[in-house]
Chain A
Amino acid sequence: DTEVTQTPKHLVMGMTNKKSLKCEQHMGHRAMYWYKQKAKKPPELMFVYSYEKLSINESVPSRFSPECPNSSLLNLHLHALQPEDSALYLCASSQEVVLIGEKLFFGSGTQLSVL
């Protein structure tokens, strides 16, 4: 299994809603990432989990709350979002960085629209 699975694929939510994005991988990767990508822009790093612990938080607003329940799962909890948070949210994972040829595997993303 060489996939990173994200659900849902599309999400429309109001500014008062609470929702969660889910990401799952079964490749034994120890690092998992959340990226945000606006249309025609590069992905922007949000969070990095390494060995289930948050290792990088790129000054993301607290209305985004990541959670890593176990080594295969990564969630992103959303609360009180703004319309400008509408974007494609990409999850990715990678093996140990010391391995030669280590790649970052991306999921298909969740297209989020905040109304």
Chain B
Amino acid sequence: ELKVEQNPLFLSMQEGKNYTIYCNYSTTSDRLYWYRQDPGKSLESLFVLLSNGAVKQEGRLMASLDTKARLSTLHITAAVHDLSATYFCAVGWFADDKIIFGKGTRLHILP
């Protein structure tokens, strides 16, 4: 069964702190996505990771992928209030067009 698990599901943190969101998936995947969603809004693509050891960074967010461990991380450095949102990881396979989402991590950054 295809499973994509994120943790934590809810995170409240103070500005200036660092934290990591974890995404585990159950079967070998070809690509791993990270998305951001603000309340009542659609999903914004953050990163696409395609290979083992891939690391991508944009601003205070850095995503990495370990395909052997079936694990991706989204690291937040020196968090700011504007990063408050729900973050989803999603996993896709080249064999078909299916892309499955994790449950999401609701991130609340306190000013």
Contacts and interface: CB of A to CB of B under 8 A. Distances in A.
Nearest to B106: A40
A52 to B, nearest CB: 13
A102 B31 contact: yes
Interface stretch (B42-50, B68-76, B77-85): B42-50
Interface string A13-50: 00000000000000000010100000011111100101
Report, as a range, how many residues of chain B touch the other chain. Answer: 20 to 34
B50 A33 contact: no
Interface in A30-80: 31, 33, 40-45, 48, 50, 55-56
Given A42-B101, A42-B102, A104 B33 contact: yes
Given A31-B97, A48-B98, A97-B97, A107 B42 contact: yes
B88 interface: yes
Report, as a range, how many residues of chain A touch the other chain. Answer: 20 to 34
Contact of B97 (A41, A55, A106): A55
Interface string A73-108: 000000000000000001010100110111111111
Contacts of A103: 33, 45, 48
B92 to A, nearest CB: 8
Nearest to B49: A101
A108 B41 contact: yes
A98 B30 CA distance: 10
A48 B92 CA distance: 13
B110 interface: no
A55 B96 contact: yes
Given A42-B103, A42-B104, A43-B43, A98 B97 contact: no
A6 B99 CA distance: 20
